[in-house]
Amino acid sequence: MTSASGNATGLEVLLSTLKSSHDVKSTLSILQILDELLSAGTVKRISYMISKGGSEALLHTLVNMTRIFPPNYYVLLLLMHLIVKVGQRDRKFGQKAQEIGAIDETLKLLQLSLPQPKYVTPCLWVLRIYASNAATGAALGKSGIMSLLFKLISPYTTRNTKAIRAATEALSALLKSKWNSRRALDNGYIQWLLQLYQDWHQRDTQNKYISIHKALLNCIRNITNTAMGKKAFLQADGMRVLLDTSRACGSTTDLQPIVKLATQIMRKCHPKQSLPLLTVSSYYSFVLPNTVDSQILDCPSTIPQEHVAVKENDGEEDEDNTVNEESGYNEDEDDLETDLSRLKPSPQLDRPVEELKQYERLCPELIGYFQRLVDEQNSGQESVPFPTFFATLGPQRHKTFREWREDVIEEVSPVPHNPLGSRGTRQVAFGWSDSEEESGSKLLIKSGCAPVQSSSQHLVRPSCGCTLNPSKHQIKKANRNRPRSGEDSPKLSTHFQEVWNIRGESVAGDKSIGFLSQSWTIGRDYRPQDTERKLSEMRREMIPFHDPYVYTIMAEKTQSVTDYQTLAFPDYWGHAALLCQEPMTGQWCGHQRDKIFEDIQRLVNPGDLLNKVVFDIESPSLVTSADDVSLKFNSNFESGNLRKAIQIRKYEYDLILNADVNTDLQHQWFYFKLSGMKAGIPYRLNIINCEKTNSQFNYGMQPVMYSVHEALCGRAHWVRVGSDIYYYKNHYCRQSAATRGQKETSYYTLTFTITFLHSKDVCYLAYHYPYTYSTLMTHLHLLQESLNSDQIYFRHQILCSTLGGNKCPVITVTANPGSHPEELHQFWNRQYVVLTARVHPGESNASWVMKGTLEFLMSDDAIARSLRDSYIFKIIPMLNPDGVINGCHRCSLSGEDLNRQWSEPNPDLHPTVYHTKGLLSYLRSIGKTPLVYCDYHGHSRKKNVFMYGCSLKETLWQARSSIDTTTLKEDIGYRTIPKVLDKISPAFAINHCCFLVQKSREATARVVVWREIGVLRSYTMESTYCGCDQGKYKGLQLGTRELEEMGAKFCAGLLKLKKDEWSCGNQLITEDDGLLDFDNELQNDRHVSHSDVFVDDEPPCPEEVDYYTDNSTEEDDDPIDLATELNVSSDDELEPRK
Ligand SMILES: [Zn+2]
């Protein structure tokens, strides 16, 4: 401290002496002292000197010294060296120089020094420092300095390169001013700069002067910051120049900064375009119930795209317009709730108690036992105290126990009583369907099998873009009392026959494929019946809880807005989890640039492109000829999403996704079929209308693919596929509904390359493992069929109908109580656990986690038994069936995010949320507030599985609230489950968990259930689409097996709560101790990260991506060291410095 203050005094004295000195000798000695002081070179010292008036002192000295004639370059060189060193750390340096009058003096000195290049260079660097300030730069520009600089910058030479670099750097700084930039454009300098750059690029073959290449590019970058500059750049064929030169750089390491800069310029100047669509709003719309006015339908985005002309930014310096697109997202601390009254659960019903009585029917387990007790009391059995909540229920409404038991078995029978539905129009989309129908038919005939004729009515709805040839392969109706899974029905057999024939035929010509030989061997003299039986047996063994036959029945009943007419083969046939986990891909270094160059090449050489639309839901009649070698696309099935496919080059396609129904947003989920491929050829697919600013696709995530060929060879798996996967901003944009008229929003491209194993295969590609509504209904049906009803109480009921007319299931699982009064008493004390999933339809991972939960709860596992004994599970496995069915990513048919409607759900618009909240409220009203509520989600920008919860204190701490938290009491029970899961579940990461309450999240399930229903342990559980970066699965992608495991582990984690709740003494506890091996460590309060204030669905990824934006980011230039700059190298003609 003492030395610092001592220095301060000394320094101040020194500086003030310097400032007033007109004497060369004393000036020189002070400058030498200062140089010595700063030679240690720490930025801190320079800043300190600036704070003590160092900049002013140096500038005054410059003025003083330049007035001495002839100039003493020995002093001046040292002075300018110090000016550059200090000036580049002083933001106001240019302004100070203007005030002190140093600018004019510097310009004079420059003029004077022109004959001697070695003195020109330092002057130029000093000017560059001045010009860092835009206002000073503009003032400098008016002095005519630019034309002088242009004269100094020459085509390639090995002479005076230091001065050339300094002049180019100075020019680049000057061009940051719009005024200067405009002058430069008026003088046609852009053309000239491009020529210079090209010249240096071509002739500097040894890359000795990369700094000059870079400085020239910086000039181009700055001059193209205006709309006028971009236009001039394009007119001067700048794209081609930069593309060709960048490509020529190859992967030479030294040149990468140049290529990066050139790429930024090209992307910035690439003209913005609208998507090749008439309108970006969803192709499908849904008329909402009358109760609502039509404004939602009157979505502004239905304005045809041409009316929303894309505007260039007008002359302004480009701003980063990537400010996140997520509505309501706010990462600020301001978003944290600090109102104490809103940070404490304050349960209140949002509707009259009478209205809640309707939910009594969803708790048949309570009603039944109530009646049973009445019966028992009447018959004089030992009395068991009545739970208080029964007082609210009218006993006359209750069924007798016997009726209730029957009800349990009969109430919901997912298989229809009538022969399958009335529609009967859907096909299983095998290899021959859709565009290949004709050839498929030929195959059938060739192989001696007549197409199955359908007797059912065929519905054609051209308005939805779905046409269907009704002649073949229709799912035949079947009797309800079909045999259980032991044996396939004759109709299903017909299916297999067809499958077999098709595959047998198409494979026959290609002996190398070795159909069937790899997984199950069949002799040459096999009979098709054997094959078919084996195929079906094998499938059943590999894929439990799935049945193609049941699936077709369920799919028939599913109502879609898209009115799909076919079944996707993977959903029909089933998916077997892979036995091994697939590694994350890592990053595909370097090739992203090549992809971007290919994109830019389209602009430079438009004639090379095919631009052939090969699929368009708006033109279903799009017919491709028989000899067409293009890929064929289709997404006319449940959860399918593809709007348009355009063949760009022979093996490259642009794909456009459809927006969520009734919106013009939410392009992320995709699921489509493709066929017509050739084996062994890399196909590049680009999804060009993604919206998120970043994606796990940049960090190791791959899409999934299902090959029909492979499935019929016994490998019925969705597998991760694709190489060269990149996600980056492209040149397509639109004006978003939210910011209409103000700003355009850019789209992003997801590009990947796929090489198919088999020619003429039929493959399905998806964003993530599909899990359709019909799959769920199939699963629930098969779970019920497998039920051991002596032990397990399982009830499948309907929560409500959705807007689209589908039934939203609610499942109850618990253990059947015995008949002993003590057991009944225990039954009353069981707490409720309420689980929901798939409110966001694109988050299919949530469904796989839920599948794991359901199967585990129904299993014979000891933990599962214990859980059923302890809890009553109410599960709503799909909160947004309509969204799932119609291939949406985020919304329901109302075009809204249902997870933002929990505060005030509308019974007509948000029925599933309204009634789920109703059920929760009902439970609360009868004194049965759930112990745990968890909503399963998927997360596209983070790895691992983690949870969001709600904590009063953590929120206040994070918000740095002044409220004294020591006096506040909070039950830290909300931490137990995450802690347990961190121990027992390999994919779970507690460090990613967060327990903050944000204002922007106050209408989500988690916050509303916590605040209004009063559930302390109310969570969102997020599962990655990608993989893990910690734990046992580090470096691996999550497959369905791991997702299902997560669902099972979540349940296992609940056992810990039971132990906590029922303290010692209960016999069950010692029993369970063996089941879950908990350490005492769990009791220790492990640190839970507070750092992550990004809560819920998909906050921006903190990781930065190369080419994340097309705007040139203003990187901090490397600090200039004039001493180095002035060092003489052999190729410079400067004389050695004294
Ligand atoms: Zn979600």
pLDDT digits (tens, 9 = 90+) for 1047-1075: 999 999 999 887 665 543 344 434 444 45
Say if residues 948 and 1030 touch (Cβ distance below 8 Å).
no
Query: Collapsing DSSP states into helix, strand and coil, what is residue 755?
Result: strand
CA of 1098 relative to ligand 1 center, distance in Å: 7
Cis check for the bond before 70: say yes or no (omega within 30 of 0): yes
> 365 CA to middle of ligand 1, Å?
31
Give yes or no for a contact between 905 and 1012, defined as CB atoms under 8 angstroms apart.
no
Percent with pLDDT over 70 in the chain: 72
Cα(810) to centroid of ligand 1, in Å?
A: 20
Query: In this predicted structure, what is the pLDDT of residue 1?
Result: 41
Whole-structure pTM value: 0.79
Spatial separation of the C-alpha atoms in residues 122 and 649, rounded to whole Å:
52
Q: In residues, how long is the chain?
A: 1138
What's the gap in Å between 937 CA and the centre of ligand 1? 4
Average pLDDT, the chain: 78
Handedness of CA 835, 841, 846, 852 (dihedral sign): positive
Q: Which residues pair with 726 in a beta bridge?
A: 751
| DSSP character string of 62-84 | HHHHHTSSS--HHHHHHHHHHHH
Distance in angstroms (rounded) separating the CA atoms of residues 671 and 430: 15
Q: HSE (CB half, 13 Å, CA atoms) of 936?
A: 35
Spatial distance between the Cα atoms of 400 and 368, rounded to a whole number of angstroms: 7
Per-residue confidence (pLDDT) for residue 966, from 0 to 100: 82
Cβ–Cβ contacts within 10 Å for residue 240, how many? Answer: 17
Q: How far is the CA of 302 from the centre of ligand 1 (A)?
A: 26
Kind of pairing between the strands at 566-568 and 427-429: parallel
**d(CA 883, ligand 1 centre) in Å:** 13
- Degrees to nearest 5, angle at CA 812 with 810 and 815: 170
Q: What is the largest CA-CA distance in the chain?
A: 123
Q: Are 286 and 893 in contact (CB under 8 A)?
A: yes
Distance (angstroms) between ligand 1 centre and the Cα of 840 equals 5
Nearest to 86, CA basis, from 11, 136, 35, 137: 35
656 touches 277 (CB < 8 A): yes
Q: Kindly tell me the sign of the dihedral angle through the C-alpha atoms of 398, 403, 406, 410.
A: negative
**From ligand 1's centre to the CA of 428, what distance in Å?**
30
Strand-pairing partners, residue 832, are 872
- CB under 8 Å, gap of 24 or more: what pairs does 396-401 form? 397/360, 397/367, 398/367, 398/368, 398/370, 398/371, 399/367, 399/368, 399/371, 400/371, 400/375, 401/368, 401/369, 401/371, 401/372, 401/375
Least Cα distance to 213 among 231, 232, 193 occurs for: 193
Backbone φ and ψ for 679, nearest 5 degrees, come out as -70, 150
User: Locate tokens 């193609």: which residue?
Assistant: 548
Residues of the chain with pLDDT under 50: 1-5, 292-331, 380-425, 429-527, 1063-1074, 1077-1116, 1128-1138
Q: Are the C-beta atoms of residues 1007 and 1001 closer than 8 Å to each other?
A: yes
pLDDT digits (tens, 9 = 90+) for 865-912: 999 999 999 999 999 999 999 999 999 999 999 999 999 999 999 999
Find the 1106 Cα to ligand 1 centroid distance in Å.
27
Q: In angstroms, how far is CA 771 from the centroid of its own chain?
A: 18
Q: What is the set of active-site residues? A: 1022
Residue 815 CA, chain-centre distance (Å), reads 39
Rounded to the nearest angstrom, the distance between the alpha carbon of 936 and the centre of ligand 1 is: 8
Question: What's the 935 CA to ligand 1 centre distance in angstroms?
Answer: 9
User: Residue 846 Cα, ligand 1 centroid: separation in angstroms?
Assistant: 9
Please tell me the distance between residue 529's alpha carbon and the centre of ligand 1 in angstroms.
45
* Residue 328 alpha carbon to ligand 1 centre in Å: 14
Q: Which of 613, 611, 658 is nearest to 636 (CA)?
A: 658
Dihedral angle sign, alpha carbons of residues 142, 145, 151, 154: negative
**What secondary structure letter does DSSP report for 724?**
E
494's enclosing H/E stretch is: helix 490-508
Which tokens go with 144?
A: 């005519």
Record the tokens describing residue 534, joined without a space. 């084996």
Residue labelled with tokens 């700069």: 193
850 C-alpha to ligand 1 centroid (Å): 14
Q: Is residue 1007 within 8 Å of 995, Cβ to Cβ?
A: no
The Cα–Cα gap between 455 and 477 comes to 9
Half-sphere exposure of 1094 (CA within 13 A, CB side): 15
Nearest-angstrom CA–CA distance, 429 and 27: 88
**Distance from Cα 352 to the centre of ligand 1, integer Å:** 30
Compute CA 124 distance to the chain's CA centroid, rounded to the nearest angstrom. 47
Ligand 1 centroid to Cα of residue 997, in Å, is: 17
Specify whether the CB–CB gap between 87 and 100 falls below 8 A. Answer: no
Distance 853 CA to ligand 1 centre (A): 18
Neighbours of 797 (CB within 10 A): 17
Closest CA to 768 of 666, 882, 845, 707: 845
- 987-to-851, 911, 1042 alpha-carbon distances in Å: 16, 33, 8
3-state secondary structure 357-376: HHHHHHCHHHHHHHHHHHHH
For residue 108, which amino acid is it?
K
Say how many Å lie between the CA of residue 307 and the centre of ligand 1.
33
Cβ atoms of 767 and 940 closer than 8 Å:
no
CA 654 to chain CA centroid, nearest Å: 20
